[in-house]
Amino acid sequence: MRDAADGGRADTRRADTRRADSRRDDSRGGAAYPEVAAHFAWTEELRRRAAANIDAQLPALLAKWGPVIGRRPTHITLRLMTSRWGSCTPATGRIRLNLQLGLMEPRFLEYVLVHEMTHLWERGHGAGFQRRMTAYLPGWKALRHDLNRRVVL
Ligand SMILES: [Zn+2]
């Protein structure tokens, strides 16, 4: 989520889709918890637990944020992502969430979901995006800061 660097661009990696991504900030995340990343390994059980945790939270989160944001994702898919916490394809309404969010504090899942749902209105991270985020979730910059300190496993 490099707001300044990403500017109005939706995606820097794929030309075939118009996505807007929540990237982790490599300059801050990697070195903060090297021991966590070094000893962690995903297992089927952890994947199941993470997916179950997210699935358990999504209905209430969508019920809460759908009316506030005024748009809802058409699909939400969970998967392990190596460099971002979530992504959104505004043209299709599809949102992807990093499965790791299911092993973290619920506030991070909520932040990433709101972030990606905001991309259903605003493709980049410009002034319009930031204005919406502040209206929806006034503490979003602190959440982003905390999340960017976490290692993507
Ligand atoms: Zn984004």
| Domain coordinates in residue numbering, the chain | 3-147
Average pLDDT over residues 43-70: 97
- Does position 22 have pLDDT exceeding 70, yes or no? no
What separation in Å is there between the alpha carbon of 135 and the centre of ligand 1? 16
Over residues 62-67, mean pLDDT: 98
Whole-angstrom distance, CA of residue 120 vs CA of residue 99 = 21
The alpha carbon of 42 and the centre of ligand 1 are apart by a number of angstroms equal to 25
> What is the CA(25)–ligand 1 centre distance, in A?
12
79: amino acid identity, one letter: R
* CATH, domain 3-147, list 1.20.272.10, 1.10.3720.10, 3.40.50.970, 3.30.2010.10: 3.30.2010.10
Its pTM stands at 0.78
